Amino acid sequence: MPVQEDQPGAATATRHPGDRYKWSVMVVVGSGVFMATLDGSIVNVSLPTLAREFGEDITVVQWVVLAYLVGLAGLMLSMGRLADIVGRKRTFLTGFIIFGVGSALCGLSPGVWWLVGARVVQAVGGAMLGANGAALVVAAFPARERGKAMGIIGTVVSIGLLTGPVVGGAIIATLGWPFIFLINVPIALAATIGGMRLLRESRGSPGEKFDFVGATLLAIWIIALIFALNQGRERGWLSPVISTAWVVAIAAFAAFIVAEIKARFPAVQMAVFQIKMFRSSLGIALLTFASLASVILLTPFLLQDLLGFPVAKVGLVMATIPAISGVLALIGGTIVDRFGARVPASLSLILVTGGMASMAFVDENTSALQVVLRLAVVGVGLGFFMPANSSTLMSSLPRAQLGLAGGFLAWSRTLGFATGQAIGGGRSSPGP
Amino acid sequence: MAIDAPIDARVEGFRIAYLAGAAVMGLAFVLTLWRGKIPRPIDERTSDPQSDRAQGA
């Protein structure tokens, strides 16, 4: 007879049959998270190469990043909800297949607009993966290990962010740009086959129907909003294109709210916002990622323009945050499991706030080491914040809505970064 | 911010941006205090038969 999950010391007393399963889920989900993060960071560094290869201006080529960003943000919440209805395994593995097909189409692109279209296909798959990864992991791990599980996911994200520029540079130099996308195909294939064998299907809610109207209005709202935030600085906040985007965003948002109130099975159940723990965790995530985006987007400019660092040195200094937060996310998750999420979440944000504020006092006489120390404080804070807030958000909704919770978690990161980038830099970036 | 702006203006621009970011982060910190005590996850307090683990076990 298996030891009950809620018995203290169960994990050490006897190995639960679910122990093997939870690590199988972590491997499959980790593959998807790593692939998506690696892809995002590789594509970011490859934009100059793509502009040269296609003979296009960088303002055209940046749609390669933007198409993925808006597609991802527009679909994440709906894909989380879809998984709650039809099953997380089915949705997640379909996401792998679509992402793999999209990657193959990207690698075979004869022109830049084909590539942009293929990136939209990738985004559909990426939304299915991004929205359901956390839900699959949370469902597989016992509640007392939730922080550790979210910490491991945070570490995988950091590894993807760190290795992306190096791997991307090596692939472009040796194999050529198509292989920065084609590298995803064998990963997606192996993970799909592994996932089919290893993952268990969630129960789903077969009696409920997917709200296509709500999902479409939601996608229009988010896409218009992200587009306006991302392009506002470059095109002018009051330009006809951006003004139209704002009007579309506001109209779609209003229509979405009305549709969701009337829908029998809404894409986003508004009742979740009555849960204080959920709405506060979501708000904290949005504010944190928006604020973090300003550090990640501004600091390379500060290092290059003000301190005169060469590009390679900028890359090394910027690796401080993901390197430190990636390692500490593992420890942070274990601390959250042992002592609860409240104190780590609050203390970590004091560290991040202090680290960011200290960056305000960098001037032309500041050394590289002094900048690294300031960014290290931000990295330490983030390492503890991510598992603390992610596990709180994922625990704030009932198990039947884990897909929706995971969708909101991933969405808060994308929307937060898009907002922060609009305020802080106005440059294209898919975020972490 | 223009790259050819005077160095003092550039330092000032970065300073304002980072302090604004820190202020937003401070707001997130206040929200963590407002959030209050975080309860234990539902499936830790009660045995959850719908858990993927439970179904597999």
3-state SS string over A311-377?
Answer: HHHHHHHHCHHHHHHHHHHHHHHHHHHHHCCHHHHHHHHHHHHHHHHHHCCCCCCCCHHHHHHHHHH
CB contact under 8 A, B29 and A146: no
Place of tokens 């900028």: A314
- Residues 20-39 of chain B with CB under 8 A from chain A are 20-22, 24-29, 31-39
Dist. CA A234–CA A229, nearest whole Å:
10
Q: Report the gap between the CA of B8 and the closest CA in chain A (Å).
A: 9
CB atoms within 10 A of CB A69: 26
Question: Considering only CB atoms, which chain B residues are within 8 Å of A340?
Answer: 38
Place of tokens 């550090």: A295
Dist. CA B13–CA B1, nearest whole Å:
7
CA A23 to chain centre: 21
Tokens coding B52: 């993927």
State residue B41 phi and psi, 5-degree precision.
-55, 145
Q: Taking a C-beta distance cutoff of 8 angstroms, is the pair A102, A121 a contact?
A: yes
- pLDDT value at residue A429: 41
Q: How far is CA A5 from CA A17, A20, A187, A405, in A?
A: 11, 14, 33, 22
Question: Considering only CB atoms, which chain A residues are within 8 Å of B49?
Answer: none
Query: Of A193, A262, A192, A216, nearest to A81 (Cα)?
Result: A216
Q: Report the gap between the CA of A363 and the closest CA in chain B (Å).
A: 6
Pick the residue of A301, A366, A374, A393 with the most B CBs within 10 A to test the interface with B by mutation: A301
- pLDDT value at residue A17: 58
B4: closest chain A residue by CA: A305
Dist. CA A323–CA A391, nearest whole Å:
21
The pTM of the full predicted model, rounded to 2 decimals, is 0.81
Q: Does B6 touch chain A (CB under 8 A)?
A: no
Say whether the ipTM exceeds 0.85: no
pLDDT, one tens digit per residue, over A258-304 is: 999 888 888 888 888 888 889 999 999 999 988 888 777 788 888 88
First to last CA, chain A: 43
Which of residues A205 and A193 earns the better pLDDT score?
Answer: A193
Pick the residue of B4, B11, B16, B18 with the most A CBs within 10 A to test the interface with A by mutation: B18
Which of residues A230 and A369 earns the better pLDDT score?
Answer: A369
- Residues 284-343 of chain A with CB under 8 A from chain B are 284, 287-288, 290-292, 294-295, 298, 301-302, 305-306, 340-342
- Residues 396-415 of chain A with CB under 8 A from chain B are 398-400
